[in-house]
Structure formats: structure tokens, C-alpha cells
Chains A and B, each alone.
Chain A
């Protein structure tokens, strides 16, 4: 009997609320609203296509990825020669257009509805090959192949690993329905992890990307769950008396920081990933919440109003005195730390506008990155070069990315959806 109950609650129920059908959906708008002066100019020549190849074209997906990074500019290719093999490239033409690198490729139909995708990245100055790969893919891997190619191009040209093959999580509200979704980094190809009639907030990828912690109100109060992204099975991580929220994984994935109210006021606790061994990390008589780990696991940054207004503090993950980090505004919340530990992104209110701010931890120097008014939940890309955040456009929640210099902003938006609470995963 006990095992049957166990089976139902631990396995069947979670499966019932999970949908794992991957869907390809209408195009998201990507609006690059600015650009850095020092972007690397690339000629991304449309790949030679094949009958029955999926849409959109691979080079369209690759191009949007590269543009969104803010570190690469695309040279116009229309009306020029469209080489497929290196020997066909007229380097003079592409140098004349200012290209430092040239991408060529082709798609070939294979038996069984599969495709071979070949591409080469050429150095336009030295006239040498920087990278070349071929993929044998099914049509469902079309976008993944494009993101992989974008990652290779980006890494070869910038020396920084790409982030286009990573995934993001967000919550979509449609009518009275909430859906926790996982999608490609460009917001496409989403899958529903959980669907609920009650709110879901604060999704957090585990460091290995295999699990998701989140807060659900389905049991009439905020409870933290951890769900496998592989099989949909779900466990309760924290359902203590009062509210349970704001989960954040330690870099080794063994523990989480979270906010509990079981000792009255909202305080930050640490708990093992199996839901055991909770210990209180912060000790104040004020609000302490929104914990996030530094990448070395040494610090936990969090929001606290102990000084009278919400500000960001940090405390050793072994406990002790907390130290205040932000001083520049009257309302500073929702910290996230870059993968290299050098920067903190957070949301600051200035004259009624909530915007994403980048804070250099060593110097305290800050830069406002966005020009919107209702920004929430900034989250660093796995390579630390972009931030994902939520904002409101015409009263509707949309996801956006912004480069660390603030000059390249893109909106990942799908008509009719209300997206919020993004987290950028591995």
C-alpha cells in the first residue's frame, strides 16, 4: 500500500502534469537595437539548400544567434556570389565588403528524410579554414544544428565558448493557466515541464541542467519542488510551515539555498538536494531572500531590507556576518552572479523604473543595461556574455537579452504569450 501511494505521488502524478512533446513554434522577434563599435564582421552566405529541407533556413537561425551576441556583425550577402566550396570564394569581393570571416555551407538530402549539413568558417584575410564540420541530422535537429554551428563560429572568432546551444526556462501565463517551459536559448523549440492553474515562480536549472527547482502555489502556499527534466518525476524539496521559495543551486549541485519562513520572518537557509539537513544561513529580523551562489561556492548573495530598503548583501556560505554590496539606489533586488564571478547583475529602481544593472564586484562600478521600466529576474548566459531578463512591453511579459555593454538588446517574444521568471541554464 505504501509503495502504491509512493508510486502515485512520486511518479504517476508528476507524469500526469508533464508534457514532453517538443513543439516548433511561430517565429520569435529578435530586435537588435544597437551594437558595439568593435563587432567582428562576418559574411554568412546562405547555404545551398536541398528539397524538403525544414524552414527557416539554417543561416537565418545562425545569423540571429550571432547578431544577438552583440559581438558579431553580418555583412550583406544579397546580390553577391554564393560560394559553396572554398575554391569558389572570391576573397576580394568579401574583403571589399569588410568581412573578416566567411561562412559557407550546404544542405544535402539523405535517404529516410535525413539531411547532411556541411559548413566551413573561412578566414577572409588569410584565406584559410578556421573550422569545418558536417552533421547528419533528422529534421527535428534542424535548429539544434544551427545553434551548434553558431557556437562554433562564435568561439572561433571571439575565443569565448558560445551559448547558443544552451537552454532557458521561463514561466508562461496564458489566461488562468501557468506553464513552466524549457526552450532553446533563442526562446524557440519549447517544451512544457509543468502546467498548473496556480502560479509558478522562480525556476532554477540545476548546474548539470538535468533538474529544475521551482516554486509552485498548487497546494495553496509556496512550496519548492525539484523535477527531473529527463523523466518528469518530481520531489518536494521544501514544504515547511509558512512559505518556501527562491531556490538556488550550489555550483556542485549538492545543496540549494532557499527562503523559508518557518522561524517567522523570511530568512535564507541551505538544504541538501534531497530535501534534508536544512540549516539557517542568515540571521536578521528583516527580510532576507533571493539567495544566489557565487560560482566558487564561497558566497551567497541575497536581497535584504535590514537597512530599511531592499539592498543586496553577501554572506559566506558557511555563515557569519553579511556585508552590504549595493549602495546606489533605494531598491536593489534579484542578484545573479556571472560565471567568472566578476560581475553581479541585479534590478534597481530609479525614479519608478526597474532596470537591469551590471555591477563589477571588484570595483563597485555600475552600468544600467536596459531602457525599459519593469525589468525582472536577470540571469547570466552560461558563457557570461549575455543577460536574459523579463520585462513588460505594452503590459505583456516578454523575455529579452542584453549584452554586458548594454548596446545590443534583443526581444524573444511570441505573440499572445505572457512570459516571466526566466532562468538561463547550461
Chain B
């Protein structure tokens, strides 16, 4: 839980700057067939206008890479999911939006979204569950205008657990998608 609370506190300060031009439900959907190019384009402009807070925070960093600065929201990369849920929760939206803004401002930047799953059940089915989580984050970035060519959603399934225990807390830790930049 600690891991989740800290980013939330950081996000609180930035929340005032966020213009959520994206309908939450739209961004959270699991149904890929409803993603229409037109909607993405429309959302894109709204998302860009909502990134002013991010560029300010980027400027205060000076020359450093904002993605590496622990005080910058861009250093946060993990989106956690509830059991059997594949929706990016509201608490992660400012972080996802910040990464979308970064990617929009840096068209050469590339990210892989790595989905994970807890260890219970079939390895291949868990691979698909991890993919579903990665895809939810990818979609949230896409509706913020990030181009398809900048992103790849992949899954590690249950194969690379961050937490190797068998308690509910361990499983929750592994129901996760991570945003990883190509130059890292």
C-alpha cells in the first residue's frame, strides 16, 4: 500500500494543473474495438492543453532528465490494478497523463508498457491478463494523443513477479503494468 500512497500524495499537488479532457470511462475501457481514430484525434488536443502543469514541472528540473527525478511524477511508472479489473484507476490518471504529455512533446521517445499478473492459474492465461493491463495503460496514453508508433503493450504474465510471496499483498503487487522508456 505504501508504494501506492506516495505517488498519490505527489499527484495531489499537481492535480490542480490537470485538465482532464478525456472521459474516464473511455480511457478505461477494455473493449478495444470501440477505439476509433477520430476519437483519439479529438482527445489529443484536449490532452495537450492539459499538460501545462507538466511542462512547468519539467522546467523546474533544469537540465536533468525529468523522468529520473524522484520528485517528478514522470519517475513513477507503475499502475496497479484491482483483482480481476482492467481499468486504470483515477489515482493513476495524473501519472499516465504526464507520461502522455512527455511522449507528445518528445515524438522520438518510445515506451513499452509491460503488463504483469499474479501467479495463480494458467501461465498463458495470466500472460493474457497481463496484456490486458498493459493494453489499458496503452489505451489511456493513446486517448491522450500518444502515437501508436511510440508505444508497445507487452506482457510478462506471471513470469517476472516483483513480489515472489504468496500473500494477497504479494499478488496485488504483481497485478501491475509498468511504463518503460526505450532509452532506459
User: A-side interface residues toward B, CB under 8 Å?
Assistant: 199, 201-202, 217, 220-222, 241-243, 245-246, 259, 261, 263-266, 285, 287, 289-290, 303, 310, 331, 333-334, 347, 349, 354, 376-377, 420-421
Contact = CB atoms under 8 A, between A and B. Distances in A.
A390 to B, nearest CB: 9
B123 A264 contact: no
Given A202-B123, A202-B124, A246-B124, A222 B155 contact: yes
B107 interface: no
Given A199-B156, A202-B123, A261-B153, 7 more contacts: A201-B127, A246-B127, A259-B124, A261-B155, A287-B131, A331-B121, A420-B123
A293 B120 CA distance: 25
Given A217-B156, A217-B160, A241-B152, A265 B32 contact: yes
A408 to B, nearest CB: 25
Interface string B130-145: 0110010000000000
Contact of B122 (A242, A265, A347): A347
19 contacts: A199-B159, A201-B123, A202-B124, A220-B112, A221-B154, A221-B155, A222-B127, A222-B155, A242-B131, A243-B154, A261-B131, A263-B32, A264-B35, A264-B135, A265-B132, A266-B127, A303-B122, A310-B125, A421-B123
Contact of B127 (A243, A377, A420): A243
B54 to A, nearest CB: 27
Contacts, number: 100
A287 B125 contact: yes
B113 to A, nearest CB: 10
B121 A333 contact: yes
Contacts of A333: 121-122, 124-125
B33 interface: yes
Contacts of A242: 131, 152-154
Interface residues of B, number: 26
A259 B128 contact: yes
Contacts of B125: 287, 289-290, 303, 310, 333-334
B135 A265 contact: yes
Interface of B: 30-33, 35, 112, 120-125, 127-129, 131-132, 135, 152-157, 159-160
A159 to B, nearest CB: 35
A377 B123 CA distance: 9
A3 to B, nearest CB: 30
A242 B156 CA distance: 11
B135 to A, nearest CB: 6
**The 10 A-B residue pairs with the shortest CB-CB distance in the complex, in nearest-first order:** A264-B32, A199-B159, A221-B154, A266-B128, A333-B122, A287-B128, A289-B128, A243-B155, A285-B31, A246-B124
B142 to A, nearest CB: 10
A165 B142 CA distance: 53
Given A201-B124, A290-B124, A333-B122, A285 B30 contact: yes
B150 to A, nearest CB: 12
B52 to A, nearest CB: 31
Given A217-B160, A221-B154, A264-B135, A289 B124 contact: yes
Contacts of A377: 122-123
Given A217-B156, A217-B160, A221-B154, A287 B132 contact: yes
Q: Which of A243, A331, A333, A420 has the most CB of B within 10 A?
A: A243
Contact of A376 (B33, B122, B154): B122
A201 B157 CA distance: 11
Nearest to B115: A243
Contacts of B122: 290, 303, 310, 333-334, 347, 376-377
A217 B121 contact: no
A266 B123 contact: no
Contacts of A420: 123
A242 B159 CA distance: 16
Contact of A217 (B31, B35, B124, B159): B159
Nearest to B125: A333
A233 B32 CA distance: 38
Nearest to B153: A242
B158 to A, nearest CB: 9
Contact of A261 (B30, B33, B135): B135
Nearest to B31: A285
Contacts of A259: 124, 127-128
Contacts of A263: 32
Contacts of A421: 123
Given A259-B128, A265-B132, A285 B154 contact: no
A241 B110 CA distance: 13
Given A222-B154, A242-B131, A376 B159 contact: no
B159 A201 contact: yes
Nearest to B129: A287
Contacts of A245: 124, 127
Contacts of A347: 121-122
A289 B31 contact: no
A239 B162 CA distance: 25
A301 B160 CA distance: 28
Contacts of B131: 242-243, 261, 265-266, 287
